[in-house]
Structure 1
Amino acid sequence: MYLQEFILVIMLSQSDFDNKKLLFINSSDESFRKLKFSNDNIEVWDDKNKKLNKISCHIIFAVFIIGECTLSSKLIKEFKEMGISLFLLNNRLRTISELVCVAEGNYLLRLKQYSLSEKTEFLMAKKLVLNKLENQIDLLEEYKNRDFTSLRYDARRGLLNDVSFCSIQGTEGFIASRYFSFIFEEQGWRRRAPTAKEDIINFLLDIGYSMLFNLVDSCLRLYGFDTYKGFYHRLFFQRKSLSCDIMEPFRVLVDKEVLKAYNLKIVNEKDFKYYNGYYHFKRPDYSYKYVKLFGKMLTKYKDEIYRYCTQFYKHISDPTKHEFPIYSYKNKNDFTNI
């Protein structure tokens, strides 16, 4: 009864979101002192009580603060009232806390989300993973300037024959291992080790994926999704499985930025140090050029990410009218159907 009466509501139009910006602030910058609101603007002040910059609150979607900082209850209240998401990152660019603008009251959407059958989730997972693998292979062909038809065939055949979530993961892992060994071949790739930070490439990939995850999570929660309930990543304590799902087709954007950073000699091994089994930034301020790297990428592609989340919201709301979204890396801005 309730599910049939669901009314589709777009929380933020695409044209409105196109004008939104992501704001990155490095608190380790010695000139940075404080943030404050004034006349619907966010102002940045230095330690000499001089205003460095200001930006209208109405065009900010999310603020990322890197490093140690102190927030007042008034500042938090202003962020919430203005609908601005706030992410606090440590000097290793790992998210330590967040304040995300959400639509918690959209219970009809969550009823739709919770009522998906396992068969429906399985078919959605196949489309999602194929989309991710196709994008990875497209990037391979772009950078290596050669044909990877056999790898594409293996991906499609494997997913076509998969009969369980575990077998989908097996196909994804098999193709991904070949993909990474090709794409980072010149950088001496060994293996993908999430969160292990056992080498500089994995360290940078983790940073990029984490920042991408935060943006995706913000977009989904804007509509009121329960981001802990995914359809491909299964339920796991404290894991936002849906955000992990939806970011999959866009991971290739992070891969491309890391590859480009190596090719342009932006990555400098002297920026990092290795101790206790992990790579870290040698100094807090060394992290900011990598924040700028991924920040520019997210700013460039945020509209496509939001458009994808909007299409996913429409699909969950009424799958008979709206197809499952597909993001094509090869054909930018093209949302086609498998």
Structure 2
Amino acid sequence: MRKLLNTIYVSSPEAYLALDGGNLVVLIGEQKSRVPLINIESIVSVGYRGVSPGLMRFCVEHRISLVFVSPTGRETCHLVGENNGNVLLRKKQYALSESADDCLEIARNFIIGKIYNQRWVIERVTRDHAERIDQATFKQISSELQLAIDKCLAATDIDSLRGIEGQTANRYDLLFDQFILQQKSDFRFYGRSKRPPLDRVNALLSLTYTMLAHECTAALESVGLDAYVGFMHTDRPGRASLALDLMEELRAPLADRFVLRLINQKMMRPNDFMVKQDGAVLLTDDARRQFFTFWQNRKNETITHPYLGEKIEWGLIPYTQALLLSRYLRGDLDQYPPFLWK
């Protein structure tokens, strides 16, 4: 199994990134910080001042992904090096992406994994906090999600599958506000608002989903797949459709539960956010630095992979699923095994 390498997070919008030998140099005004790039697989920066050509070349040559995100959590730039892997694998991926039946077969397992994991988040909250939730509604929606898995198995086209996914996502979102058990007056969830996020919960979700999408993109590229050619999300210039496919099954157990931990364990508090003139709610610079630390710590926690039976870090789950997908495309597996958390 691959070793989990480190990610460097640069949270200041005023940072300029440069290279000195084998070190990343972060320049903020008169301040200069230096970080060795050995054992680094990714640099994520919220900055907009820029990056030196020397650092870009070093990252490309050493396959260190360089990602810029906006303060609202949207990825604005993504630099990677030369593709890894066998070109025959990517040709197989492209061929299957043109087949409606093959797209349905692969996308079905992505969505089954997503619904299964959403249901277990609901079941876990029901078990642990029964006295603080509307149990009847939780049980009703959990049953609906179980039935939705059967509907996925019976779906005959990709549009039907997308419809099932959309319906279950709406039902799951109805419960999300009840997942928030602490700081209720300051952290309320009324539904997703993305560009920009309009409340504290959406600010955390948007940034976390961006981090997860980056992890999935890097994982797919590391095993030789094209992150921009998906099976469920349609092709669109600049959109990493396969990364969005892959992250669907990881949203609930990895991203949503991380955000809920930040709120329920009071790791993030109301004064960690600011409101812009357009209504966008953002993390402050200091809070964003804390966020990245918490995210890296989460990635370092371990779990026994439900399919492989091996204990690995959460941060390796996107890579593991990308590897299993590549094995399916090569014909080594009869079907793609989704990540089923419990």
Query: TM-score scaled to structure 1, two decimals?
Result: 0.80
2:94 matches 1:114: yes
2:331 matches 1:329: no
| Secondary structure of 1:124 counterpart | helix
| 1:255-294 matches, cutoff 5 A | 255-270=256-271, 271-281=273-283, 283-294=284-295
Instruction: Measure, in 1, the Cα distance between the counterparts of 2:150 and 2:60.
Output: 47
8 Å contact kept, 1:34–1:46? no
1:64 to 35, 44, 64: 44
2:165 to 160, 165, 172: 172
Instruction: Measure, in 2, the Cα distance between the counterparts of 1:37 and 1:274.
Output: 36
Equivalent residue number for residue 12 of structure 2: 27
Instruction: Measure, in 1, the Cα distance between the counterparts of 2:26 and 2:282.
Output: 28
Q: 1:192 to 1:94 in 2, by over 3 A?
A: closer
Instruction: Measure, in 1, the Cα distance between the counterparts of 2:82 and 2:297.
Output: 24
Shift of 1:273: 0.9
| Secondary structure of 1:242 counterpart | helix
Equivalent residue number for residue 334 of structure 1: none
Equivalent residue number for residue 7 of structure 1: none
Q: 1:143 to 1:35 in 2, by over 3 A?
A: farther
Shift of 1:166: 1.8
| 1:309-324 matches, cutoff 5 A | 309-319=322-332, 321=333, 323-324=335-336
Deviates more, 1:247-256 or 1:138-147: 138-147
1:124 to 98, 106, 113: 106
8 Å contact kept, 2:42–2:64? yes
Instruction: Measure, in 2, the Cα distance between the counterparts of 1:75 and 1:313.
Output: 30
| Secondary structure of 2:51 counterpart | coil
2:122 matches 1:140: yes
Instruction: Provide the aligned C-alpha RMSD in A.
Output: 2.7
2:66 matches 1:86: yes
Equivalent residue number for residue 96 of structure 1: 76
Q: Please give the per-residue CA displacement for 1:213-268, whole angstroms capped at 9, x wherever unaligned.
A: 01111121223322221111122343221111011111111100111111122333
Instruction: Measure, in 1, the Cα distance between the counterparts of 2:28 and 2:240.
Output: 36
2:36 matches 1:55: yes
Shift of 1:91: 2.9
Q: 1:233 to 1:248 in 2, by over 3 A?
A: same
Shift of 1:113: 0.9
Q: 1:37 to 1:298 in 2, by over 3 A?
A: farther
Task: State how many pairs are aligned.
Answer: 308
Equivalent residue number for residue 133 of structure 2: none
Query: TM-score scaled to structure 2, two decimals?
Result: 0.80
- The one-letter amino acid of 1:99's match is L
Instruction: Measure, in 1, the Cα distance between the counterparts of 2:91 and 2:17.
Output: 42
Percent identity among equivalent residues?
A: 24
Equivalent residue number for residue 247 of structure 2: 247
Instruction: Measure, in 1, the Cα distance between the counterparts of 2:81 and 2:20.
Output: 17
8 Å contact kept, 1:101–1:222? no
Q: 1:56 to 1:273 in 2, by over 3 A?
A: closer
Instruction: Measure, in 2, the Cα distance between the counterparts of 1:261 and 1:102.
Output: 36
Instruction: Measure, in 2, the Cα distance between the counterparts of 1:206 and 1:176.
Output: 16
Q: Give structure 1 stretches of 5+ with no counterpart.
A: 1-13, 331-338
- The one-letter amino acid of 2:255's match is V
Instruction: Measure, in 2, the Cα distance between the counterparts of 1:82 and 1:311.
Output: 24
2:223 matches 1:210: no
2:297 matches 1:296: yes
- The one-letter amino acid of 1:173's match is G
Deviates more, 1:248-257 or 1:192-201: 192-201
Q: Please give the per-residue CA displacement for 1:301-329, whole angstroms capped at 9, x wherever unaligned.
A: 2212111111111111225x454132122
Equivalent residue number for residue 154 of structure 1: 147
Instruction: Measure, in 2, the Cα distance between the counterparts of 1:88 and 1:156.
Output: 36
Q: Give structure 2 stretches of 5+ with no counterpart.
A: 131-137, 302-313
8 Å contact kept, 1:314–1:322? no
- The one-letter amino acid of 1:54's match is V
- The one-letter amino acid of 2:157's match is S
8 Å contact kept, 1:23–1:64? yes
- The one-letter amino acid of 2:171's match is R
Q: 1:42 to 1:278 in 2, by over 3 A?
A: closer
2:319 to 306, 312, 317: 306
Q: Please give the per-residue CA displacement for 1:4-35, whole angstroms capped at 9, x wherever unaligned.
A: xxxxxxxxxx33xx241111123358xx7764
